[in-house]
């Protein structure tokens, strides 16, 4: 007899960076390396991904580093 498992909790968030005016969103599952961070206010066809298949710690560190960068610097870090 198999017990039913609870689905893993997904975490999502958004942050608007003050200096650049860019909105960054992220989502992932705690304790798994499936986190993704991307720029929200880019065009629909061109979603700029900042981190993909990363750990939660790496995404949170990236977000804190992006606080001090201008918009051009953030877009340069992103993969198109």
Residue 30 resides in a domain: yes
Q: Is residue 43 part of a domain?
A: yes
> What is the number of domains present in the chain?
1
Q: What is the pLDDT of residue 3?
A: 65
The candidate with the shortest Cα–Cα distance to 66, out of 53, 76, 56, is 76
3 falls within a domain? no
Instruction: Quickly state the pLDDT bin for 79 (edges 50, 70, 90).
Output: confident
Q: Is 21 left (phi over 0), alpha (psi -120 to 50) or beta?
A: left
In-domain check, residue 67:
yes
Query: Rg (Cα) of the chain, in Å, rounded?
Result: 15
- Tokens 């580093």 correspond to 65
What is the span of the domain harbouring residue 64? 11-77
In a domain, 21, yes or no: yes
- 1 occurs within a structural domain: no
* Domain membership flag for residue 5: no
Q: pLDDT tens for residues 2-13? A: 667 877 889 999
Q: What is the pLDDT of residues 23-63, one digit of tens each?
A: 999 999 998 999 999 999 766 666 789 999 999 999 999 99
Report if residue 50 sits inside a domain: yes
> What local confidence, expressed as pLDDT, does residue 5 receive?
81
18 to each of 5, 43, 48, 69, how far by Cα in Å? Answer: 41, 20, 18, 10
pTM: 0.82
């Amino acid at each position: 007899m198999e017990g039913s498992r609870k689905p893993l909790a997904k975490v999502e968030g958004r942050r608007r960076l003050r200096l650049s005016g860019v909105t960054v969103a992220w989502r992932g599952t705690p304790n798994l390396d499936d986190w993704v961070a991307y720029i929200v206010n880019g065009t629909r066809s061109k979603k700029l991904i900042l981190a993909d298949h990363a750990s939660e710690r790496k995404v949170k560190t990236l977000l804190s580093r992006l606080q001090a960068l201008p918009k051009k610097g953030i877009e340069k870090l992103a993969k198109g």
